[in-house]
Structure 1
Amino acid sequence: MTGQTFTFEINRTSSAPPATLFRLEADGAGWKEWARPVVFQSSWETQGEPAPGGIGAVRKVGLWPIMMREKTVEYEQDHRHVYTVIGPSTPARDYHGEAVFTANASGGTDICWRGWFTEGVPGTGPIMRAALKGAIQLISLRLIKAAEREASGV
């Protein structure tokens, strides 16, 4: 029996340029610098093409002993990063995330971060969607703060 599919979407705006936001989000080893309190540890397991975070890259993020392994499956420099969780197994099967950074008329960036997954255990989908959406909401705010700090030279 196949579980139900769940999705969520976070939309934000930043004064930082798309390239800065993209670089921070796609840099798996750097998450520990800006994504706390959601991510305390981050590193590359495998670098991709282009190095380090391109297609095939695997970043490890979290807090030991629970480190999520996320593999880059689509990569459009300075614009779009799509990844899938490859371990450990969770009640959210086949989780994919997509972060899109689009320049806007005010000189900043419109951010759209989506996630989708299949419910692995019947009845857990709504809880997993709320947890994942909450995590991405917090991570996206921390990303914006780091990018705007960097863009302003502070």
Structure 2
Amino acid sequence: MRIQRIAAETTTEASPEEVWALLSDRSTWPSWSPLGSHTAERLGEGGNPDALGGIARFVTGRHCVREEIVEREPTGRLSYTLLSGLPLRDYRAVVELTPAGTGTHIRWSATFFPGRPGTGWIYRIALTRIFRGMVTGLAAAAPVGN
């Protein structure tokens, strides 16, 4: 099976710090994205649920996914892996925030292997749609100039 790659990106007038404030707090994700409810399942470093090692659960419709933060560079990069919830292997998502003039370019990408042969294209389409909602929602929700 081939590795699958997906990405969505947009630019906002909000600064990287303003975007990071929302991105780095996963409890806000359901308010600006297509994701459903959020529960912090395990605290990460320093007792922060959104630090390295922090595990969150998102329930959207019938789907419940668990994700762990594996990389965190404030105002620049957040990476997480899928622990359970979708039939995918080696799933890793990366959100990159890059200064763009006075605003921020947001890129949300992921790589994974389908759990079953012939299903990669289905997950690529579905997850790309979700990622588009993630980046546009994050860009719209980030306050400008606060």
TM-score (norm 2): 0.90
Unaligned stretches of 5+ residues in structure 2: none
Match of 1:43 in 2: 39
Q: Does 1:70 align with 2:67?
A: yes
1:14 Cα offset (Å): 0.7
Q: How far apart, in 1, do the equivalents of 2:144 and 2:58 lie?
A: 24
Aligned pairs for 1:52-131 within 5 A? 52-63=49-60, 65-88=62-85, 90-105=86-101, 107-131=102-126
Preserved CA contact (<8 Å) 1:84 1:96: yes
1:66 Cα offset (Å): 2.5
Where has structure 1 moved over 6 Å in runs of 4 or more? Answer: none
Q: Secondary structure at the match of 1:133?
A: helix
| Identity within the alignment, % | 29
Preserved CA contact (<8 Å) 1:31 1:61: no
Unaligned stretches of 5+ residues in structure 1: none
Q: How far apart, in 2, do the equivalents of 1:32 and 1:120 lie?
A: 26
TM-score (norm 1): 0.86
1:124 Cα offset (Å): 0.3
- Partner AA of 1:47 in structure 2: L
Preserved CA contact (<8 Å) 2:4 2:113: yes
- Partner AA of 1:68 in structure 2: V
1:5 Cα offset (Å): 0.6
